[in-house]
Amino acid sequence: MRYAKKALDLAIRTDKVDEFVNQVKCFIENTKVELSELPKNMVSMHIGDPLRVTHKGRQPNRYRSCGEPQKKKVKHIQNIINITNKNYEKEVVINQISNKKERHCKKCNQVGHYTSRYPNN
């Protein structure tokens, strides 16, 4: 398309619009003749739009209804103070590792066994 636009701009600048229009008309007539001479039993290839795949699950960026539970993302702020004492920093790291949420028994809330393997049964 850009060549046609450039050619039209040049034709307007040089005042040769009539010559340009005549050349375009000749080109159109010649291509129509060539197309009519082709065998008519040729199958025309029409490429349509590709089929859309419906994905499973929730649609991205969809609006939720008022009946659905709303999940709010909560930002947890970590209060870690940079102290130059290396021993204290090691203790902070050890305390953070020990505060990791672990699975525990639902009956006695102790770590190390689960309800199915409760030792007092």
Q: Residue with structure tokens 């409760």?
A: 118
Spatial separation of the C-alpha atoms in residues 106 and 115, rounded to whole Å? 6
Q: What is the DSSP letter of 112?
A: T
Q: Which two tokens stand for residue 72?
A: 């709010």
Q: Residue with structure tokens 């028994």?
A: 105
For 111, phi then psi, to 5°, come to: -85, 145
Higher pLDDT, 85 or 106: 106
In the predicted model, what is the mean pLDDT of residues 68-78? 59
List alpha helices for the chain, DSSP H. Answer: 2-13, 17-37, 86-98
pLDDT in tens, 12-66: 999 999 999 999 999 999 998 888 877 666 666 777 887 877 777 777 776 777 7
Across the chain, what does the average pLDDT equal?
73
Domain boundaries, the chain: 2-36
**Percentage with pLDDT > 70 across the chain:** 60
Report whether 7 contacts 20 (CB < 8 A). yes
Q: What is the DSSP letter of 111?
A: B
Kindly tell me if the per-residue pLDDT of 84 is higher than 60: no
